[in-house]
Structure 1
Amino acid sequence: MKKVSRVFYVTVALVIITVFFGAVFPEQFEQITGNIKSFVATRFGWYYMLLMSALVIFSIFIALSPYGQIRLGKDNEEPDFSTPTWVAMLFSAGMGIGLVFYGAAEPLSHYMSNAPTADEGSGKAFKEGLTYAYFHWGLHVWAMYGITALALAFFQFRKEEPGLISSTLKPLFGEKVNGPLGKVIDVLAVFATVFGVATSLGFGAVQINGGLSHLFGLDVDFSSQFMIIAVVTILFLISAWSGLSKGIKYLSNTNMVLAIVLLIIVLVVGPTLLILNMFTETFGMYMDYLIKSSFRTSPLEGDNRGWLDAWTIFYWAWWISWAPFVGMFIARISRGRTVRQFMTGVLILPTLVVSIWYAAFGTTAGDVQNSGTDLTQHATELVLFNMFDQLPMSLILSIVAILLIGSFFITSADSATFVLGMQSTHGSLEPPNGIKITWGIAQSSVALILLYVGGLQAIQNTIIVAALPFSFIMILMVIALFKALSRELQVINRRR
């Protein structure tokens, strides 16, 4: 425990204070955070749109530029993980439970009640639902994760700096990042990670509970969710104890196998031809809408500004708040890859996988809805299982989905304990097991308390508010990274 930094103690104190306030005054907490979230969405919507679009442009530029030849490590280093395992790990950490939770529900919601420009229930709304699901979970998200991870990996493995968010700003602030300024930055990153993952764990527990209730009649209540989180906590702590190259690696590969099995079954037993046609057309629409959607701010009356705030602005802030966690984890597993390999893989592969996933599940949900079964009457966590009821092999589909949610649940928590351990031990590549276990228990405890007081919405609000200051840090990270890459390329060229 001698490696533990002040970041650990400060963040633990902030987490305790926040959770205490949320538990004792849940209504006031949700109201205050909700008001701040609304202010941020209304006043800074244009800023989030410009920032995320700029990150996409910068990511593509870096991948195609001469900087792409720089290796994230020494010149002769090979990647730590094979490409399939690497893709499985970054995908599991970056999306995980969310894809299963929203895979059918989000496109259906756009189709039936929340289409940005089309009449609800229309064919255009059906297509828009899929197009905007790709948009919200695709290129922009992975560009943001990619740049954060690239900065961390470059400074950690090429320049041998600690694996901390603050270390990426050294080209701008020098040794000041080792003082109070750096500690504030790292505390913000750890705080966002704890609550971001705790919220995800809460969603996972609710959906597993919903699936078990749907299949076996298990009560949907806090007691059931407590037991689910307790079992999963034991499992992910065992995985965390075994280390990165065993636990998370094997779990991530398991995730991909289960996800592929579930996807293939839905493609086969669902409306296969419709799925293929919808994917082809809506992915083309996504490419066509990309620039227009990237800069949409709905400034005038009648522009459906409420939809933009509730969906796109919400998602952009949500993903930014996850950037410290996902960026640090992707950086840690990417040692030995070139910048071009890294950025190309992070941008293209997950975007394609996400789009195929949403096309399969979103199209199937829309088709079931059109057949006369109203899926919109069910809570979000139950849409998937009620959709399965209308397909052949429904029991197998539901069981595989529950297993996949559980596996994603364990992987996300395991990855987060590793990242939190790094951040609270001066960037150690092998955090002590005691620290990882402490963070693992803390995450599960926060999730349980939030579920008990019904505070998931309030904590989502908190994360979105925290995304605003971290977005400024991201801008500084981009400037510092560009400056450092330019210097590194000059050094490489002089050696030739």
Structure 2
Amino acid sequence: MVFALSLAIALGFVLWGALAPASMTAITQHMLSATIGGFGWLYLLAVFGFLLFAVYLAFGRFGKIRLGGPDAEPEFSRASWFAMLFSAGMGIGLVFWGAAEPLAHFANPPSGEAQSADAARTALRYTFFHWGLHPWAIYSIMGLAIGYFSFNRKLPALVSEAFRPWLGHHVDGVFGKLVDVLAVIATACGVVTSLGLGTLQIAGGLTHTLGVPDSDALHIAIIVVAMGLALLSSLTGVGRGIKWLSNLNIGIALLLLAAVIAFGPTLFIVESFTTTLGGYIDNLSYMSLRLTPFSKGSWVADWTLFYWAWWITWAPFVGLFIARVSKGRTIREFIVGVLLAPSLVSFIWFSAFGGMAIHQQLLGGVDLLSVQTQDYARTLFAMLAQLPLAKTLSVLALLLIVSFFVTSADSANLVLSMLSTRGRANPPAWIKLLWGCVIAAMALVLLFSGGLKALQTLSIVAALPFALIMVGLCVALYKALAADEREQEHKEKMRRHAVDALLAREPGLGD
């Protein structure tokens, strides 16, 4: 039922966009306005709550619990584990927005004078905020819930199964099916948004670097080729295809990052990282709950709410995937690893790419904003054009985007197939192929019906019901952990009583 219903909804969306794109755009824009106007506060409170809950789980009394039981061993090394969760969790977006987002905030800051030194500081601080602890807190809660119930309670790897200790047999009914269908749809919407961004940037890079004309045909070719590669990789399994691609992603990303830091304004980048990290930590709670009820403006909706919704739609996808590769980790190791390691890399990445973009615009005499006004997807390549070995670095960036694209699509095929086959760890190949084609079709429909704005609209609207599910998921996870802790304490108490009774009968045994 979950597979049939979710597939029908996805295909219905594709047909709607293909046959009546104007109608789809108008209705989704109306839904977007209603969602932002009525529930923006819910996104902010929920995501901040997820972060606080994740920190509590890591450093509270449940931190020593191991996913898979006391004797479970990790399947992957820490380096490969980090590479896979990072590639699945942020990949394309990090490259697309690396230079573009800080530059956008610099030109249009949430407060204060545009294109000033203060605007530069604010730009990087809010970029850290959007790509730091909050998204990874969302992923860690979802991943921990799925991993714990799957590995420790021996339940299927489904979002709905996390509610079983709380709701019992009701999970087998309409509620459970509805949760799993929403998880599939949210996953598809989040992944399609990222793949759409990747398509736009690959096309922009090919046009800027190699002079390939930007056209609808180019977008179609990019999606078809990249999805074909992703499907080939998905058929090899997690231990080969996704693992190899993830390690490749990290290698190319680190090489490109090192080149930007070395060839760019190195001291400016290091100082930007240092001061922005301090500002981020100092203003974390203020930024987490910032809305603008006393003034007109859409900055929070266009940026913060879009990101929070995007991360929530990615939660079933990334959460299930990192749960799949995290058996053997303790809760503390899992959350600290998922929260801190990717966040730190993101901070360094945005300090390098965003810092250099702002430096070129503010101090270097390069008008990147004129390029970005025309096309966000070309900002990165216009920035790299100012560095030594510009052509080589641009080609390297293109390879990284393609690699991230393939990895994200590959992981998405796996997760969608698992969600729609009752959590099977190795779903049938034909289901992976089918979901790959559906995702590609959804991405094409969105790009042709509204581009970047359509992708953002889809994410924000699709995330609302799943945000409520995640709040319930936190309650269910806490209840399960507390119940297991009480059971373990009871067993330990009974064991001690048994030992004491035996010693009372046989005093000599104590010696």
Q: Is 2:402 aligned against 1:402?
A: no
Which of 157, 163, 174 aligns to 1:169? It is 163
Once the two structures are TM-superposed, the CA of residue 473 in structure 1 deviates from its matched residue by 0.5
Once the two structures are TM-superposed, the CA of residue 381 in structure 1 deviates from its matched residue by 0.3
Q: Is 2:33 aligned against 1:38?
A: yes
CA contact (8 A) 2:189 2:462 kept: no
What is the letter of the counterpart of residue 405 of structure 2?
F
2:343: which partner in 1?
351
* Count of aligned positions: 488
Which of 184, 187, 194 aligns to 1:193? It is 187
CA contact (8 A) 1:210 1:382 kept: yes
RMSD of Structure 2 on Structure 1 (CA): 1.3
Deviates further, 333-342 or 446-455:
446-455
1:438: which partner in 2?
434
CA distance in 2, matches of 1:480, 1:89: 27
| Residues 181-238 of structure 1 deviation map (CA, whole Å, 9 limit, x = unaligned) | 1111111111121222122222212211111111111110111122222221221111
What is the letter of the counterpart of residue 376 of structure 1?
L
Q: Is 2:467 aligned against 1:474?
A: no
CA contact (8 A) 1:195 1:463 kept: yes
CA contact (8 A) 2:11 2:438 kept: no
Which of 17, 21, 26 aligns to 2:21? It is 26
Once the two structures are TM-superposed, the CA of residue 435 in structure 1 deviates from its matched residue by 1.0
CA distance in 2, matches of 1:17, 1:234: 23
Are residues 407 and 365 of structure 1, via their aligned partners in 2, closer, same or farther at CA, if it must alter by over 3 Å?
same
| Residues 253-275 of structure 1 deviation map (CA, whole Å, 9 limit, x = unaligned) | 00000010010000000000000
CA contact (8 A) 2:226 2:406 kept: yes
Once the two structures are TM-superposed, the CA of residue 455 in structure 1 deviates from its matched residue by 5.3
1:105: which partner in 2?
100
2:409: which partner in 1?
413
2:498: which partner in 1?
none
2:497: which partner in 1?
none
Deviates further, 390-399 or 485-494:
485-494
Which of 337, 341, 345 aligns to 2:333? It is 341
Where 2:62 maps in the other structure, the secondary structure is helix
Are residues 308 and 450 of structure 1, via their aligned partners in 2, closer, same or farther at CA, if it must alter by over 3 Å?
closer
2:289: which partner in 1?
295
2:298: which partner in 1?
306
What is the letter of the counterpart of residue 22 of structure 1?
G
Once the two structures are TM-superposed, the CA of residue 66 in structure 1 deviates from its matched residue by 1.5
Larger of the two Rg values belongs to structure = 2
CA contact (8 A) 1:104 1:358 kept: yes
CA distance in 1, matches of 2:407, 2:134: 23
Once the two structures are TM-superposed, the CA of residue 17 in structure 1 deviates from its matched residue by 1.2
Once the two structures are TM-superposed, the CA of residue 305 in structure 1 deviates from its matched residue by 4.3
CA contact (8 A) 2:25 2:449 kept: no
Once the two structures are TM-superposed, the CA of residue 488 in structure 1 deviates from its matched residue by 1.5
Which of 201, 224, 227 aligns to 1:207? It is 201
1:254: which partner in 2?
248
What is the letter of the counterpart of residue 325 of structure 1?
F
1:372: which partner in 2?
365
Which of 196, 209, 216 aligns to 1:222? It is 216
Structure 1 gaps, min length 5: 1-5
CA contact (8 A) 2:22 2:449 kept: no
What is the letter of the counterpart of residue 364 of structure 1?
M
CA contact (8 A) 1:421 1:439 kept: yes
1:3: which partner in 2?
none
| Residues 276-308 of structure 1 deviation map (CA, whole Å, 9 limit, x = unaligned) | 00100011000001011112122213xx64211
What is the letter of the counterpart of residue 314 of structure 1?
F
Q: Is 2:454 aligned against 1:461?
A: no
| Residues 35-70 of structure 1 deviation map (CA, whole Å, 9 limit, x = unaligned) | 211221122122211111111111111100110111
| Percent identity (aligned) | 47
CA distance in 2, matches of 1:186, 1:376: 43
Deviates further, 136-145 or 483-492:
483-492
Structure 2 gaps, min length 5: 493-511
1:491: which partner in 2?
487
Where 2:283 maps in the other structure, the secondary structure is helix
What is the letter of the counterpart of residue 377 of structure 1?
S
CA contact (8 A) 1:103 1:361 kept: yes
Deviates further, 367-376 or 284-293:
367-376
What is the letter of the counterpart of residue 378 of structure 2?
L
CA distance in 2, matches of 1:28, 1:102: 29
CA distance in 1, matches of 2:39, 2:199: 32
Which of 232, 238, 244 aligns to 2:238? It is 244
| Residues 100-142 of structure 1 deviation map (CA, whole Å, 9 limit, x = unaligned) | 0000000000011x21122101001001111000101111111
Once the two structures are TM-superposed, the CA of residue 397 in structure 1 deviates from its matched residue by 1.1
Which of 178, 183, 198 aligns to 1:184? It is 178
Where 2:31 maps in the other structure, the secondary structure is helix
Where 1:205 maps in the other structure, the secondary structure is helix
2:352: which partner in 1?
360
Where 1:141 maps in the other structure, the secondary structure is helix
TM-score when scaled to structure 2? 0.93
What is the letter of the counterpart of residue 52 of structure 2?
I
What is the letter of the counterpart of residue 485 of structure 2?
L
Where 1:67 maps in the other structure, the secondary structure is coil
Once the two structures are TM-superposed, the CA of residue 462 in structure 1 deviates from its matched residue by 2.7
TM-score when scaled to structure 1? 0.96
| Residues 305-325 of structure 1 deviation map (CA, whole Å, 9 limit, x = unaligned) | 421121112211221121111
